[in-house]
Amino acid sequence: MIVQLILAFVAGSSFTIAAPAPRDSPPSAPTNVTNFYPSSFDLSGCPGYEASNVVKTDSSLTADLTLAGPACNKYSEDLTDLKLVVEYQTNERLHVKIFDAGLNVFQVQEEVLPRPENENAPSSDAALNFELVEKPFSFVVRRKENDEVLFDTSAAQLVFETQYVRLRTSLPQNPNLYGLGEHSDPFRLPTKNYSRVLFNAESPYIPNNSNLYGTHPVYFEHRGDKGTHGVFLLNSDPMNIFINQTESGDQYLEYNTIGGIVDLYFMAGKQPADVSKQYADIVGYSAMYPYWAFGFHQCKYGYWDVNMVAEVVGNYSAAGIPLEVMWTDIDYMKLRQDFTVDPERFQLEKMRELVTTLHQRDQRYVLILDPGIHAVQGYGPYDRGVEKDVFLKYADGSEYLGVQWAGVAVWPDWFAPNTQDWWTNEIVTTFSPETGIDLDGIWVDMNEASNFCHDIFCNPAQLAKDEDDPPAPKNPPRPNTGRPIAGFPPSFQPTPSGSPMIKARNAKPIYPRQSNNGTMKGLPNREWFEPNYHINNRNGNLSDYTIWTNTTNYDGTRQYDTHNFYGHMMATTTHTSMLTRRPALRPFVLTRSTFAGSGRKVTHWFGDNASTWDHYRTSIRQMLSWVAMHQMPLVGSDVCGFNQNTTEQLCSRWALLGAFQPFYRNHAEISANHQEFYQWPSTITAAKKAIDTRYKLLDYAYTALYYQTTTGAPMINPLFYLYPSDENTFGIQEQWFYGNALLISPVTTNNSETVTLYLPQDTFYDFWTHEKIQGEGANITVSNVTWTDIPVHIRGGTIIPLRENSANTTKNLRKEDIIVLVAPDADGKAEGRLYLDDGESIEQSEVSEVEFSWEAGKFTATGSFAYSGASGESVTVAKVVVLGQESAGNMGKFDSEKKSIEVDGPWHMAGAWGFEV
């Protein structure tokens, strides 16, 4: 029956799918990437600066910096007078800021990234020490405990020009560097001839050695027993960061930015997770997401009508694969216009029926929004936006025009005072539970911002016409699929028998509003399009395929300086709108483009990857960086790949891998074959196993998320986080710890059933068999790993709560009793924790934070036990299973084959409890 249903879905249609260019691929976007290493100009003769008027206090240092000789003016004009401010903000955080004395150079606005509190820690108690060299100016940051030099600028003079800033630090040989996202490069960054470009850009196929969708200028450096530290540069301007060696072999990292200031935060660590926590103190702790967000999600660009969306939901049910959240891409819109529905293919009434049916089945629904608003009179969102003055403008007061999916488009100015109200009104009205589509989350895309205009000479109206944006729907409307869809209303079942008012532009607009002196909004009269220092943007010049960089925001700043957080602002504005729509519930907003601090409110997926083994592997190292280094925990890739056609084997492997990543969504592009998990026999089996295991472990993962949102401790751990002294772990990028207990080691070799994995010197247990395994700090090879298997090991010394059974939805999952799995370490000890709340409310009146402990044969559960559960939910522990036991105790059942003791409850978690075997 399942096979017949699938065949009907794939091949039974009497009409064809149109195949336009991939949705997330701008026409003719360049794909070749050339690395640009430090400039062709020789900067060795630049004079640098001299420090004077140095003033020290117990927790700070200030100084004037003056150009020490004739100006270089290599790329633009040198600034003569700078200021230096050094703050010992906490015992673990040092702030070093170098900026222009006139306060004209752009600084990131507080509303975009609120600054951390300066606690004015006494320098005598600080873990780091700042050392100033006055002439020529340089500085050193040193770890006091062991005298390790963490940052040293003495090897190259500071260059600070109107459109170019260069700062270089020396590094140890072959350093262990991580971060500097967003990228698809190795997790441990290369250290020779390597460049990172930070300029947000649409990036189909997530190319290597390239700028991608987000900007996170923070790096972690790990030095084994000598400690881990982090460095965050708070600067949103386009930049090249080089990691290389000099001709004499000296290692360095160098920042090259075309604007902004030097605003550095040093995090002392000393353990890797300590740096993660300290970074959260700077950019903000992650939002807490709803429990249902950990369920399995399904999407595809190319579900051509509401009936097809319903059929996919029905097919998952027929195949017995749990589906928590259904998504719909831009297909649902009328001619790709935000806040509309196609009146023939996604009729509002049937969309409302679809969502009602999903909610009755305890499932959820998410829709997409793009920032480009179709610029045509008579289109409500555009007309209301014009009335409220919310769009970016040319100097003459007319809207800035480009092209996005709906055709000729304008873009919201997120700084304009009425934009939040306008955007919220459109969301609240369109997605009204009473009259609109009662969705559960919003996905914001194309917000780098992506613009189909190739360059600054684009004529938007002509381009939209030439490239047929938006195309008319090619598929005829249909009342239903022609096939029954179990569980859906009768309307889904088989039946018995204006021109745009726009002004085209084809030349550079004149310079718009100038910023006032002393406002930190950016220097006027810069070269906005092609500055002398070249940023190695994958799309070419700065304004190619995006909003022109000379465009002025409402507050007087330029897109030149603010481009890298345009998507961040769209996403956080959407978050606020969702709060207005449902004030009591945690919003779920997924964004493609991000900036440092985006995780405070929204989450991210890794963009438009491809259905390749390489991108399957890439998703692991991306996850490690995003969760551990960028404080965005609920992340994941498009499972099975977005672009190109996947295969049964790849999709089966990816279904298993994705189940142990925080965000779990299958998503494909319109021209790709259907890849829903029910399409092949092995993916059906793999998905059932993967989701069954994921759901049993959902409380464990939810607990880890909670503690990342409150302490900054990452819910995904690179191996060196837990084994910081083991040099073998420093470069591992295809294994990870899910939480702090489960070591995930997927098969990563193409079309293979063998995996070589690393087991640190520690006690482990096979998750599937409970067999005790002693890690020797060496690689082991596991063969005969079938297409529906994935190696998972439990780290000794941990305790894992899991549900006794899985369920079709996360709501039903919460009705299942809990099992506690104890995995003692070599000393016979273990600990773990469990966090319980209602899963969705922002304000939690009752929560439980339970600490589990095992030592010397005694198990205890202590902590707070206020959460009693909603109707039908279980907060009962059915049994405790202790692994690695050689003999029976005084109570419980001993399994001589598995070497475990099982102690049956039940224990209702209304207070502390325990037992001794």
Tokens (6 digits) for 562: 């603010």
Q: What is the DSSP string of 521-538?
A: S--SS---SS-SSPP--T
Question: At residue 19, what is the residue type?
Answer: A
The token pair at 305 is 């009508």
Rounded distance between C-alpha atoms, residue 493 and residue 478, angstroms: 11
Rounded Cα–Cα distance for residues 269 and 258 (Å): 30
CB 332 within 8 A of CB 348: no
The Cβ of residue 615 has, within 10 Å, a number of other Cβ atoms equal to 24
Task: Give the tokens for residue 443.
Answer: 């996905």
Q: How is residue 465 annotated by DSSP? A: H
Please state, in angstroms and rounded to a whole number, the distance separating the CA atoms of residues 71 and 162: 12
What share of residues in the chain are helix, strand, coil (percent, to 5)? 20, 25, 55
Task: Find, among 101, 102, 153, 157, the residue nearest to 130 by Cα.
Answer: 153
d(CA 206, CA 460): 27
Alpha-carbon distance 624 to 735, whole Å?
A: 9
Query: How many CA atoms within 13 Å lie on the side-chain side of 604?
Result: 35
Q: Closest by alpha carbon to 629, among 735, 572, 708?
A: 708
Which residue in this structure is represented by tokens 């009204």? 432
DSSP element (H, E) containing 703: helix 698-711
Q: Helix H segments across 776-852?
A: 810-813
**For the chain, first and last CA: distance in Å?**
50
Q: Which residues contact 855 (CB under 8 A, 6 or more apart)?
A: 828, 829, 830
Q: What residues are labeled active site?
A: 445, 448, 608
**Helices 698-711, 681-696: inter-axial angle, 10-degree rounding:** 60
Q: Residue 384: CB partners within 8 Å, gap ≥ 6? A: 422, 425, 426
β-strand partners of 863: 850
Q: Which two tokens stand for residue 388?
A: 């409220």
